[in-house]
Amino acid sequence: MVNPSDLQDSSAGPVVSAPELLALHAVRLKGVAGDDEAAARYGLDSEVVREALLDHEARGWVTRRAFAGTRGWTLTDSGRAEGERQLAGELTEAGLGPFVRERYETFLAHNARCLRACTDWQLRPDGAGRLAVNDHGDAAWDGRVLDELTELGGVIDLLSEELGTRIGRLGGYGPRFTGALARVRRGELSWVDRVKEDSCHTVWMELHEDLLATLGIARGEEPAVPA
């Protein structure tokens, strides 16, 4: 359990990250992001973000890149390291390391469930012992997946609310996830796993990356989850 004395006083309000850090971090979370996309991630002014990213380019932290039909900024290795350094400093100054790590471990305990649910949305047994593309003709199968995603929506909603009250940039994931799920229930089936949009899968994976970056954990170094 987290010692309450390790936590920043929530009455003081959440930590507010500098726009320059948010611009750099938005590029990490998106992978490839243009000025407007990076600005939109945290509701920042596009011109402020553009200038910040140009400064980051001059320092060798970001570079322009075209990937899979998308053109924008991407992090360099030094930019990734610098972002983690700044995030670590922010976390240490606020005294929130144990708090965030505990929430990360809770997230990790549910991570396989989300990945499995998204896979089940894409594939299902064909009755002959094989997996086939899910044509969404089996209401019971899809209903089970949606029930699982609904439960996971409760998990991410609580986590992002707890995190966001301490560190502002870590908030908002819950409403984005449940908003995507609401679109699925209205018949927009691709909002479970569509790419380059705030689908359930995209939002979940982005929170995962955000927590890894915040704690300075490489994916290959993540702790094992008890079976």
Tell whether 59 and 170 lie within a shared domain. no
pLDDT tens-digit map of 161-192: 999 999 999 999 999 999 999 999 999 999 99
Rounded alpha-carbon distances, angstroms, from residue 110 to 6, 155, 186: 25, 8, 25
> Model confidence at 227, in pLDDT bands (50, 70, 90)?
low
pLDDT at 109 over 80: yes
Tell whether 128 and 180 lie within a shared domain. yes
Tell whether 56 and 148 lie within a shared domain. no
For the chain, what is the domain count? Answer: 2
Q: Which residue reads 């010692």 in tokens?
A: 3
Per-residue model confidence (pLDDT) at position 11: 56
Per-residue model confidence (pLDDT) at position 127: 78
Whole-number percent of the chain with pLDDT over 90: 84
Tell me whether residue 6 is in a domain. Answer: no
Tell me whether residue 5 is in a domain. Answer: no
Tell me whether residue 53 is in a domain. Answer: yes
> Model confidence at 226, in pLDDT bands (50, 70, 90)?
low
Q: How far, in Å, CA of 171 to CA of 187, rounded?
A: 27
Tell whether 44 and 113 lie within a shared domain. no
Per-residue model confidence (pLDDT) at position 4: 43
- 125 vs 168, higher pLDDT: 168
Per-residue model confidence (pLDDT) at position 5: 39
Of 10, 11, 7, 26, the closest CA to residue 169 belongs to: 26
